[in-house]
Amino acid sequence: MLPSGSPGEALAAVCVRLKICFMDMLDPEARGAMLDDLLGAHRRELAQARAALEGCEHLSPFARHCLARDVERWEAELGWLDALHLLATERAAA
């Protein structure tokens, strides 16, 4: 399947992954702040995806299916980031 986002969105996704891969280089406070920012951004994207899905009852079945997938994707990403945040918090406490 071809990427649906713009090249800028793809680049942003790569930057997020690099930030996460190199989190060990940050002190615990900076690590927590970075994850808080990412969680906030993902929550906003999830809210927008849900609003798009629920906002129009006249969507075609294909559009509804596509928007539902966006919601699922953002929910999964948010769950993954929540788990990462918990791991980082536990590591900082150790």
- For 27-81, write each residue's pLDDT tens digit: 989 999 999 999 999 999 999 999 999 997 888 999 999 999 999 999 999 999 9
Residue 20 in this model has a pLDDT that exceeds 60: yes
> What are the CA-CA distances from residue 68 to residues 13, 38, 49, 52, 75 (Å)?
20, 22, 8, 9, 11
Taking the C-alpha atoms of residue 14 and residue 25, their distance in angstroms, rounded to an integer, is 18
Distance CA 22, CA 19 (A): 5
Q: What is the pTM of this model?
A: 0.81
CATH of domain 7-93: 1.20.58
Phi-psi region of 27 (alpha: psi -120 to 50; beta: other; left: phi over 0): beta
Structural domain spans, the chain? 7-93
Q: How high is the pLDDT of residue 9? A: 81
The average pLDDT across 10-28 equals: 89
